[in-house]
Amino acid sequence: MAFRLISRAVAPVGKSRVVSAALLGSTRNSVIRTAARGYSTGPVRKSGSNPMVWALAFAGASVAGYYMMTPAGKVDPHASPKSNPGVNVETKQKNNLDYQAIYNEIAEILEDNDYDDGSFGPVLLRLAWHASGTYNKADGSGGSNGATMRFRPESEHGGNAGLGVARKKLEDIKKKYPDLSYSDLWSLAGVVAIQEMSGPVIPWRPGRTDKLSQNDCTPDGRLPDASQGASHVRDIFYRMGFTDQEIVALSGAHALGRCHSDRSGFEGPWTASPTMFTNDYFRLLLEEEWVPKKWKGPFQYVDKTSGELMMLPTDIALVQDPKFKKYTELYAKDVDKFFEDFAKAFVKLGELGCRFPEDTKTYRFKSTLE
């Protein structure tokens, strides 16, 4: 099983990092394997600017998960995308794909010590999140079924700025497996990112199909605006059909990744282990004192202790709002409960807008960390 980190410390050694951590239900070999991947689990470093990389902010997760900023737009966030009845908007894929093999190939491209904190995991998680987070339960539009971020204008929406780097990273795998839809590939990449960064096992089903026209793009404004508060967060997630507990659980993906001032406008990581899936995000929200960052960028918070970690207004809403706070406290105390609830909520997120035949196989992938 993939291990779970609670505390973290890392010392850079050239392009490698040595992991030192308190582990739950883990083995020393798991730590060594993760260290060999080069994933950072300790003191954060500034990431260099990369003109080919995107504007961030979930997650996501990165959050990407990141849970990112979408600047307010003029488009009604509940509006339905235009349709083109004259075009066959879906493609069918075959069922003879080896999804474990595809999982393994995605896992192999995660490590890159020259990219951010040493992993493409957070940005791939953000891609999966944003491809799904456009869903509107009122009319069934959006969601992970379609991969419409391939087209303009959706690819240029504020919340998706720069995600081209994640889509491009997966292109070689798509070419190798032409029967694999982009929709399934992006969704699966999010699963790989979570599990390979020591998160919970995420059950996953294939069968998503790709739209073929920009007419099926969803309107801007459906993803969270990180500068807002609890009411906005609920508006966004309730539209997709999530509960308060699921909202908080999904927000825990902010244990991963960082914001970039040249992308989302915000700056910094949420935790000191931005490539390890932990419950540190919740612990830090409660244990640290968060103060406004003194800078010329958009309003955000930094921890008073070091000034190296950050929280967005939407993050602070999880401790300011009493209904959100009780779940924040729960997950800060119980990492196993967080993993359990996150996995369930993420499965739901990844299947928004999808209809699977009853006989569709559910996969539980073996992590390469095992």
Query: Which residues on adjacent β-strands are paired with residue 4?
Result: 24
Judged against a pLDDT cut of 50, whether residue 79 lies above it is answered with no
The pLDDT of residue 36 is: 39
Distance CA 327, CA 246 (A): 9
The pLDDT of residue 12 is: 32
Judged against a pLDDT cut of 90, whether residue 32 lies above it is answered with no
The pLDDT of residue 66 is: 36
| Contact between 148 and 211 (Cβ < 8 Å) | yes
The pLDDT of residue 69 is: 41
The pLDDT of residue 264 is: 87
The pLDDT of residue 296 is: 95
More confident residue, 71 or 174: 174
Nearest of 287, 282, 290, 288 to residue 318 by alpha carbon: 282
The pLDDT of residue 263 is: 79
Distance CA 298, CA 14 (A): 34
Q: What is the DSSP letter of 150?
A: G
Judged against a pLDDT cut of 90, whether residue 51 lies above it is answered with no
Q: Determine how β-strand 60-64 pairs with β-strand 23-24.
A: unpaired
The pLDDT of residue 94 is: 53
Mean pLDDT throughout 313-323?
Answer: 98
Distance CA 58, CA 38 (A): 23
| Token pair listed for 305 | 């202790």
Residues taking part in catalysis: 130, 270
Contacts of 47 (CB under 8 A, 6+ apart): 116, 117, 258, 260
The pLDDT of residue 233 is: 98
The pLDDT of residue 95 is: 61
Mean pLDDT throughout 117-123?
Answer: 96
Q: What is the pTM of this model?
A: 0.78
More confident residue, 28 or 36: 36
| Contact between 65 and 202 (Cβ < 8 Å) | no
Mean pLDDT throughout 311-336?
Answer: 98
Judged against a pLDDT cut of 90, whether residue 2 lies above it is answered with no
DSSP codes, 163-231: THHHHHHTHHHHHH-TTS-HHHHHHHHHHHHHHHTT-----B---------GGGPPPTT-S--TT--HH
Give pLDDT tens digits for 271-300.
Answer: 999 999 999 999 999 999 999 999 999 999
Judged against a pLDDT cut of 90, whether residue 24 lies above it is answered with no
Give pLDDT tens digits for 148-190.
Answer: 999 999 999 989 988 999 999 999 999 999 999 999 999 999 9
| Token pair listed for 120 | 């493409």
| Alpha-carbon dihedral 263, 271, 106, 145, rounded to 10 degrees | -60
Calculate the average pLDDT of the chain. Answer: 81
The pLDDT of residue 50 is: 39
The pLDDT of residue 326 is: 98
